[in-house]
């Protein structure tokens, strides 16, 4: 996803000199072409994310469209005060890009895992929160971030994510993409787990269960219309996210349902429980450990439908 992001941003920046990319002393190799060919639109702020955010805010107040780029928690939790007070309070054009959402940096442990970021960023006034599910969505989300007037959080994977969408899609901030129809249950998924959810959907189809699949790339503003349609047309709702189940996609969907006086027959948030990721390994291993593999998602769905 990060390559799709940089490629798309570079193309846009070539045509619009207001676009500026700031990095926290990382991404080299990926950002080299941007840095070399657009040196007036690139700054390495060093390992100083708070300063980088303040710098981005000042540039945005001067008319720039500023992207700050770092990995996992570093552009979020390390400089949350600056994001809240400098960016969101003034509702300015700073776009925060987190590379390696979820457990993409699995082997380096919980300090590098972004598993609370959606909840934190979703709580900030004026902030749009987007977590694409594949490379196609990542590129389109980058374009949307440029055109959106105001703060924008873009949570990307790290590298090697598959391309799920084989044709053009109608990508709109705040509007889910219906990837698959189904009448027995609905999976609502965000942040790079679409492939696993489709695999789980295939496995459930062999058991006679037809799953609707919604790619909910935007957490805020949430597509409440798609959620309400799903609960009215399918008896079971499952949210799937590489994130704590507290405050992220699952929380947003539950809020939408309760505020509209709708309760599905079955409802479950599939994600990390109220815990840090204490195991060490690559992303696929950790997804297996924490129930986010194809098998884990199938097990959660079957257990819920059987025992609820």
Domain ranges of the chain: 2-156, 177-307
77 within 8 A of 117, measured Cβ to Cβ: yes
Q: Is domain 177-307 annotated with CATH 3.40.50.10860?
A: no
Tens of pLDDT, residue by residue over 33-69, are: 999 999 999 999 999 999 999 999 999 999 999 999 9
Q: How many residues does the chain have?
A: 308
Tens of pLDDT, residue by residue over 115-153, are: 999 999 999 999 999 999 999 999 999 999 999 999 999
Catalytic residue among 49, 116, 241, 242: 49
Among 147, 113, 145, CA closest to 129: 145
pLDDT score recorded for residue 29? 86
Q: Which residues of the chain are modeled with pLDDT < 50?
A: none
Among 217, 127, 213, CA closest to 171: 217
Among 212, 256, 219, 217, CA closest to 235: 212
Residue 302 annotated to the active site: no
CATH classification code of 2-156: 3.40.50.970
Place of tokens 């899609």: 169
Cα-Cα-Cα-Cα dihedral of 248, 249, 254, 256, to 10°? 110
Between the CA of residue 236 and those of 48, 197, 281, what are the distances in Å? 45, 15, 32
What is the Cβ-side half-sphere exposure of residue 64, based on CA atoms within 13 angstroms? 22
């Amino acid at each position: 996803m990060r390559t799709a992001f940089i490629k798309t941003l570079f193309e846009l920046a070539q045509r619009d000199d207001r676009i500026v990319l700031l990095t926290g002393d990382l991404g080299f190799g990926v950002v080299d072409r941007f840095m070399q060919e657009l040196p007036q639109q690139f700054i390495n702020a060093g390992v100083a994310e708070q300063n980088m955010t303040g710098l981005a805010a000042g540039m945005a107040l001067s008319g720039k469209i500023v992207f700050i780029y770092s990995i996992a928690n570093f552009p979020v939790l390390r400089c949350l005060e600056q994001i809240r007070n400098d960016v969101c309070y003034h509702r300015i054009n700073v776009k925060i890009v987190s590379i390696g959402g979820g457990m993409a940096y699995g082997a380096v442990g919980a300090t590098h895992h972004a598993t609370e970021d959606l909840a934190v960023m979703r709580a900030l006034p004026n902030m749009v929160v987007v977590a694409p599910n594949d490379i196609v969505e990542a590129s389109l989300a980058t374009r949307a971030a440029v055109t959106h007037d105001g703060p924008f959080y873009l949570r990307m994977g790290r590298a090697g994510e598959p391309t799920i969408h084989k044709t053009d899609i109608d990508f709109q901030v705040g509007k889910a993409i219906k990837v698959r129809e189904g009448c027995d249950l609905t999976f609502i998924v965000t942040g790079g787990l679409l492939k696993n959810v489709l695999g789980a959907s295939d496995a459930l189809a062999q058991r006679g269960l037809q799953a609707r699949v919604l790619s909910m790339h935007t957490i805020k503003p949430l597509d409440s219309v798609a959620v309400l349609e799903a609960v009215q047309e399918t008896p079971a709702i499952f949210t799937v996210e590489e994130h704590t189940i507290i405050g992220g996609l699952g929380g947003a969907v539950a809020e939408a349902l309760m505020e509209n006086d709708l309760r599905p027959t079955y409802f479950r948030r599939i994600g990390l429980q109220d815990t840090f990721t204490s195991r060490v390994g690559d992303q696929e291993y950790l997804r297996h450990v924490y129930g986010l593999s194809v098998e884990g998602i199938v097990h959660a769905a079957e257990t819920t439908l059987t025992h609820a």
